[in-house]
């Protein structure tokens, strides 16, 4: 790991406390409901793994792999479904778990698509929200941190498939990706 490439935005203990707080709120809000968490791969897998351990009600899991970035630092605006859900969401309370929301295009696309499949509800949870980059009218229902308009890595979030294994949430220095 090259820690010279990054600046820590939130250390692992701060992240752990925020995930615990989100898990408690989700548990309260979904008490007695048919909860299905849909994790958006690959970025949300670390967050989702920690989040489900903080939710103390019955739940089901599924995953989607969606791409709008490729190897770039900027969304292409084109959303591609690389892996769809394995199970039906009909009559379930779906909570889409995303690592980071910036433009909102991917999340809006996913939410609109899922709403056509007959769930009881579709809500959204993100670890990081970057509203300065929003180009759609979507706002997440559960938010860990509101962050500045910086390129973020760590805690499952990557740049060109690197940095996911950093335990802290970090700002990637522009010198790394502006080559």
Q: Residues, the chain, total?
A: 179
- 124: three-class secondary structure by DSSP: strand
pLDDT in tens, 68-80: 654 444 555 678 8
Are 157 and 35 in contact by the 8 Å Cβ rule? The answer is no
Catalytic residue among 5, 99, 102, 158, which? Answer: 102
pLDDT exceeds cutoff 90 at 170: yes
Query: Looking up tokens 């920690």, which residue turns up?
Result: 50
pLDDT in tens, 69-121: 544 445 556 788 899 999 999 999 999 999 999 999 989 999 999 999 999 99
Domains of the chain: 12-150 (3.40.50.2020)
pTM of the model: 0.91
Active site residue 112: no
CA distance 126 to 81: 19
């Amino acid at each position: 790991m090259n820690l010279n490439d990054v600046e820590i935005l939130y250390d692992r203990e701060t992240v752990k406390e925020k995930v615990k707080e989100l898990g408690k709120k989700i548990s309260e809000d979904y008490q007695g409901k048919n909860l299905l968490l849909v994790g958006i791969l690959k970025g949300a897998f670390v967050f989702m793994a920690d989040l489900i351990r903080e939710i103390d009600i019955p739940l089901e899991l599924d995953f989607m792999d969606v791409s709008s970035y490729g190897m770039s630092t900027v969304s292409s605006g084109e959303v591609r479904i690389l892996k769809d859900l394995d199970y039906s969401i009909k009559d379930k309370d779906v909570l889409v778990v995303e690592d980071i929301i910036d433009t909102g295009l991917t999340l809006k696309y996913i939410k609109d698509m899922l709403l056509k499949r007959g769930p009881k509800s579709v809500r959204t949870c993100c670890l990081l929200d970057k509203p300065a980059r929003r180009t759609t009218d979507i706002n997440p229902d559960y938010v860990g941190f509101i962050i500045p308009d910086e390129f973020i890595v760590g805690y499952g979030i990557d740049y060109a498939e690197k940095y996911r294994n950093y335990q802290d949430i970090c700002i990637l220095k522009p010198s790394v990706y502006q080559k």
